Structure 1
Amino acid sequence: MLTLGALLSPVATAGASPAAPAAPEPARIDLVLDLSGSMNQDDADGQTRLAAAKQAVTRIIDTAPEQAPLGLRVYGATYPGQDKKRGCADTQRVLPVTPMDRAARADAKKRVAGFKAVGFTPIGVSLREAAKDLGPSGERRIILVSDGEDTCAPPPPCEVARELKAQGLDLAVDVVGFRTPSSARAQLKCIADVTDGSYTDADDADSLTAGLGALFRKGWRTYQATGKPVEGSLDGCRDAPLVAPGQYLDRFTGGRDLYYKVKKRPDQLLQVSATAVAEEGYGRGSLITVAAGPEADGEPRAWLREFDQSMGWANIISTGGRSKPGAGSEKPAPDDTGCILVENDVTRPGDKPMPVELLVGIADKTTRQAGARAPEPRTGADAEGGYSFNSATPIGPGTYRQSITVGEAPFWRVEVKAGQKLTVKAGVDIPKDFPRSATTGWGVTVYNAQRTSTQCNKDQNATELLAGRTGHIERVCGPWEISDEGGASGSAPDGYDVPGTYYLQAQVAEPDDEAKGIVVPISLTVDVTGTPRSGDGPVFFFGDDAAHGPSQSGAHAGGEQGANGTTAAATDDDSPLGKLALPAGIGAGVLLLAGLAFYALKRRGAA
């Protein structure tokens, strides 16, 4: 059981911003490479297909994150004869699925350098073996590179793909057709389609390298929703789980809303954030709302109500809010128990379940007196952006540069205090041969300490359409003056006067597939001016895991595990946690992929 001292000690309440939960494991990826005899053809931009494939695979090995589990399987690499039985069994695991540390990286590159292309094309058999390489659990992907159709069926490769999908495994197969004739393309696309993977054509070494890079980044660098599992009630507050400060992971099903109980005294401030994460993108008008208030209310909203709406292409919607301070502006709740409502106007009946992060925080005099600390900013290569609120890279004022692929949306975080001003400048260099598209744009999104997004400035949308432009394109957001010490003054549009952790996200958005995978250099300049003002601003407690310190951004999981395996964020008893009536927060981070004409709409305060 937690003690009072442990719960509200300066260490336990160390974050005005929440600490990150344990990072989710990266997707396990097995690359299956065609080394059949046709790969010796000298038609890949002045070199053999084999040489181009070696170049692309070596690039993947060089750039793979150290913690990323990568395996390599080849087929057609050892038997040069005509015996079909032997040729169609010619598939080998070259590299087990293992994190790419220095030793594994050196070994893999050495093996790739020695590849020869000599044999048959047993795609179906190789897919079965690759599924075994990846193991039985976790997010797994097979990336298949082939220049032709299977020459060994049975088993037909598309039937093998259906077989793997029917096993209920979290497994997708992405396919790159390398100079593939039209006769083979339908077979390869079928493999991708039936496993919910993707198909891409590549005609030369550069496009193969770019295509593979995009697929691997998709597996390793997409937004990964995190938090302690919880199941919100679908039928109102009565049966809802009680949540304490922390980050939780739930899901939208159909068009159903989610309800959670929370404890909050009138003298305490409550922060609630919510993030819905889509696999592809939202349609126009998708809406997510968070509200909280006394449980007795028909629709709880007396404490706070905030919403964000997507009017364009985005794969995340994020919103959050804080209650107003003081008992005089709050409606008392019986036994200090209230209700959190996350309204779902995103999914419809029959849609796939969609992950939702919930973040809950509480602030009062005790947490404020405990003080706050922030993670040490990173510099140089260590300042490369993360890929969610939880993995956002902590930075300070300065200029940061890196390269991203089109469709990626890296995150950074910066701490801003009352009395300071924040200005964010983001630039991208678009190459002259960049595909012309009416829907591609350059966007930078700033999220405030409540994880609510804003338009860059009043006269600018979140994304600036490129409209065929190339060269250096730059956007400036702000300056925003951080002045609100009470937590909900509502004086600034979208709450950009609230001190705390601000999240910065940049992206070249491309709803179509034409530009995906192209690598472009970007720069991010952060300017924080002014002298921090002393005062009694709130310090939010986001759960006991904050004792470990906010290592990278975002929320962390809080709460306790029940004997039946279900998650409750708070205990409704006489424990110190129950007596303190600490509010539960929904850990939210909605990564809006700054897509076309995205607008953030918000209403602040009690309804």
Structure 2
Amino acid sequence: MLAAVSLPLLGALLSPAATASASPAAPEVPEPARIKLVLDLSGSMNENDAGGQTRLAAAKQAVTRIIDTAPEQAPLGMRVYGATYPGQDKKQGCADTQQVLPVTPMDRAARADAKKQVAGFKAVGFTPIGVSLREAAQDLGTSGKRRIVLVSDGDDTCAPPQPCEVARELKAQGIDLAVDVIGFRTPSSARAQLKCIADVTDGSYADADDADSLMANLGTLFRKGWRTYRATGKPVDGSLNGCQDAPLVTPGQYLDKFTGGRDLYYKVKKRPDQRLQVSATAVAEVGYSRGSIISVAAGPAGDGEPRAWLREFDQSMGWANIISAGGRSKPGAGNEEPAPNDVGCILVENEVTRSGDEPMPVELLVGIADKTTQGAGARTPEPRTGADVEGGFSFNSATPIGPGTHRQSIAVGEAPFWRVELKAGQELTVKAGVDIPEDFPGSVTTGWGVTVYNAQRTSTQCNEDNDVTELFAGRTGHIERVCGPWEITEQDDAKSGDSKGYDVPGTYYIQAQIAEPDDKAKGIVVPISLTVDVSGTARSGDGPVFFFGDSAAQGTAPSGAHGAGEQGGTDGKGGTDDTTAAAKDDDSPWGELAMPIGIGAGVLLLGGITFYALRRRGAAAS
């Protein structure tokens, strides 16, 4: 990330006083769901068939990992059954269910207490699943988003009540509660009962055979109660009435909102010798209608719309819940129209919302490049490996990775982000695979999608065929999609005439998802692999390094002189005092356990197999 440096030539143009309005209202960030883990401690958990250890030992390992990685703000509780009564009296054994941890934020004390409880777990008794679900629902209370995550290795040995009937009972009460289920070494005779619980409550079901798969699936299911795409930035209120009364924005990331189909305007200071980058990302709680458009433009205000410096747009292909577009001005004072007093205007055009729609968060990223930013100190994030390579769930929390193959599990409806640093002259190839189970409920529009965004946060072309997704309706097994190889060039390079969006060195973002799945598929946990190959030799040169502000609510800095990615917040984790609370821990376990609130609400799907994005690159003619 950018060190605290003096930028004398930016001086008054980027002075702290020239900031946006101090405390405008920003779109509300959803509260994390309250989650209750219900763990099976019946006698069968002592079976020694979980990858060289007992089921109980594997469960302890996986639950301890959840406790260790839970964000401090995450309200988490635990209930167990079959843990205390080793006898044969069914009445007593079927009443053996206890709350061992009330739902509470995972601060240091709660975390230590929870781990102590887990270490002492013993598996001795009956399997009262239905009774435990009913009690767990009461533990969670009656307000807000709530989830139960059930881990069980077999049938309910205490029915009635039948677990699925209890699930229907809870759903009939109209409470906002879903039950996710992991069948751990579960026989086929019990799997239907456990799947029914998840289906009835709009939850998710996954199988696990050992500690690794239990840990992966448990983490995936917990994530979806803790995070959706978190739009972050310093709150700002863009003008709805044109440039004349717009707030002045300096380099950094801001958080605004679209309302009622209205465009947003901001003032920006830029000399003719400086280059400007503007990126805007609109975030929906659910998917956009097909054909929704977001545009960014900038230039002197003049008598019309500001477009002389840059204009770029992107169009939704249906069911996406982010649309992102970005652009840069061309280098050199002779390539653009100067603005009076160096004050120009940024326009974010809104063809997304309509009158009466709920406010929609919009991230605005503003950067400046000139001679003073070329030598600015920058830190390239260390690529992660192993368990830490799980994707994040926004541009700002995208997980840094390097070349190699990375594996994790995702739930259908989840759309994680990764980031990789690239320089001009290098070539990028992205290969993403997913393993589709035999009983996967596909549809004719179901496909495996991979989207690569460049450092302007604009989507690029994946391959020469320009396919949006790899359709697999009716197919099972391993499905792969390959993007590239594409050479990274400079925007003013002769090679970049047909760059397909790869003419911006810096931070590239990779997003993977199952596109337009059948509703019945949402929440199914599937293993994926992501292979990134970076070949070629980075070219030397003095390409632009954009400064995005010391307190931008985003990740770390670009790599070297060709940098076009994000400069980061001063805490090294993508968050500063100027960011929203949700931005503060994007490199923390909160970011690692980032998942949509309710799988259906977070579907980042870029379906529309034959309908492609319309995109205009570079500065429009004035």
What runs of 5+ residues in structure 1 fail to find an aligned partner?
A: 14-23, 41-51, 162-171, 190-197, 559-564, 568-589
Alignment partner, residue 394 of structure 1 = 400
Alignment partner, residue 603 of structure 1 = 616
Cα distance change, pair 121–554 in 1 and its aligned pair in 2 (3 A): farther
Alignment partner, residue 293 of structure 1 = 299
Contact map agreement 1:9 1:370 (CA 8 A) in 2: no
Q: Distance in 2 between matches of 1:27 and 1:329?
A: 48
1:371 CA displacement: 5.8
Alignment partner, residue 67 of structure 1 = 70
Alignment partner, residue 544 of structure 2 = 538
2:615 is paired with a residue whose SS is: coil
Matched, 1:476 2:489: no
Q: Distance in 2 between matches of 1:202 and 1:476?
A: 29
Contact map agreement 1:75 1:91 (CA 8 A) in 2: yes
2:497 is paired with a residue whose SS is: coil
Contact map agreement 2:445 2:517 (CA 8 A) in 1: yes
Out of 528, 552, 572, which is 1:522 matched to? Answer: 528
Cα distance change, pair 324–204 in 1 and its aligned pair in 2 (3 A): closer
Deviates more, 1:454-463 or 1:304-313: 454-463
Contact map agreement 1:142 1:174 (CA 8 A) in 2: yes
- Counterparts of 1:1-400 in structure 2 under 5 Å? 5-7=5-7, 27=32, 29-31=34-36, 62-63=65-66, 66-68=69-71, 69-72=74-77, 74=79, 93-94=101-102, 96-98=104-106, 104-105=114-115, 107-108=117-118, 110=120, 130-131=140-141, 141-143=146-148, 147=163, 161=175, 173-175=177-179, 199-200=202-203, 215-220=221-226, 222-370=228-376, 372-400=378-406
Cα distance change, pair 431–235 in 1 and its aligned pair in 2 (3 A): same
Contact map agreement 1:62 1:105 (CA 8 A) in 2: no
Cα distance change, pair 339–492 in 1 and its aligned pair in 2 (3 A): same
Q: Distance in 2 between matches of 1:487 and 1:508?
A: 35
Contact map agreement 1:264 1:337 (CA 8 A) in 2: yes
Per-residue CA deviations over 1:515-569 (Å, capped at 9, x if unaligned) read: 22222222222222222222221000000137998179856569xxxxxx999xx
1:274 CA displacement: 0.9
Q: Distance in 2 between matches of 1:349 and 1:246?
A: 29
Matched, 1:433 2:439: yes
1:435 CA displacement: 2.5
Q: Distance in 2 between matches of 1:111 and 1:328?
A: 72
Cα distance change, pair 472–260 in 1 and its aligned pair in 2 (3 A): same
2:551 is paired with a residue whose SS is: helix
Deviates more, 1:537-546 or 1:121-130: 121-130
2:6 is paired with a residue whose SS is: helix
Cα distance change, pair 243–283 in 1 and its aligned pair in 2 (3 A): same
Residue type of the alignment partner of 1:595: G
Contact map agreement 2:488 2:504 (CA 8 A) in 1: yes
Q: CA RMSD in A?
A: 5.0
1:199 CA displacement: 2.6
Alignment partner, residue 453 of structure 1 = 459
Deviates more, 1:363-372 or 1:484-493: 484-493
1:309 CA displacement: 0.5
What runs of 5+ residues in structure 2 fail to find an aligned partner?
A: 15-28, 44-54, 151-161, 183-189, 559-564, 571-576, 580-601
Cα distance change, pair 483–91 in 1 and its aligned pair in 2 (3 A): closer
Cα distance change, pair 201–294 in 1 and its aligned pair in 2 (3 A): closer
Contact map agreement 2:36 2:136 (CA 8 A) in 1: no
TM-score (norm 1): 0.71
Deviates more, 1:474-483 or 1:592-601: 592-601
- Counterparts of 1:406-421 in structure 2 under 5 Å? 406-421=412-427
1:223 is paired with a residue whose SS is: coil
Cα distance change, pair 148–529 in 1 and its aligned pair in 2 (3 A): closer
Contact map agreement 1:277 1:591 (CA 8 A) in 2: no
1:6 is paired with a residue whose SS is: coil
Q: Distance in 2 between matches of 1:286 and 1:523?
A: 31
Cα distance change, pair 114–439 in 1 and its aligned pair in 2 (3 A): farther
Q: Distance in 2 between matches of 1:345 and 1:416?
A: 32
1:477 CA displacement: 1.2
Q: Distance in 1 between matches of 2:141 and 2:404?
A: 45
Residue type of the alignment partner of 2:616: R
1:491 is paired with a residue whose SS is: helix
Contact map agreement 1:374 1:549 (CA 8 A) in 2: no
Contact map agreement 2:234 2:578 (CA 8 A) in 1: no
Contact map agreement 1:253 1:352 (CA 8 A) in 2: yes
Deviates more, 1:460-469 or 1:433-442: 433-442
Deviates more, 1:110-119 or 1:381-390: 110-119
Q: Distance in 2 between matches of 1:150 and 1:591?
A: 28
Alignment partner, residue 168 of structure 1 = none
1:111 CA displacement: 5.3
1:96 is paired with a residue whose SS is: strand
1:199 is paired with a residue whose SS is: coil
Per-residue CA deviations over 1:269-290 (Å, capped at 9, x if unaligned) read: 0001111112222221111111
Cα distance change, pair 420–180 in 1 and its aligned pair in 2 (3 A): closer
Residue type of the alignment partner of 1:96: T
Q: How many residues align?
A: 524
Cα distance change, pair 177–269 in 1 and its aligned pair in 2 (3 A): closer
Q: Distance in 1 between matches of 2:376 and 2:412?
A: 43
2:282 is paired with a residue whose SS is: strand
Cα distance change, pair 177–447 in 1 and its aligned pair in 2 (3 A): closer
Contact map agreement 1:237 1:339 (CA 8 A) in 2: yes
Residue type of the alignment partner of 2:607: G
Cα distance change, pair 126–427 in 1 and its aligned pair in 2 (3 A): closer
Q: Distance in 2 between matches of 1:75 and 1:4?
A: 50
Q: Distance in 2 between matches of 1:157 and 1:66?
A: 30
Alignment partner, residue 195 of structure 1 = none
Per-residue CA deviations over 1:154-182 (Å, capped at 9, x if unaligned) read: xx997794xxxxxxxxxx53346999999
Q: Distance in 2 between matches of 1:591 and 1:329?
A: 41
Cα distance change, pair 160–547 in 1 and its aligned pair in 2 (3 A): closer
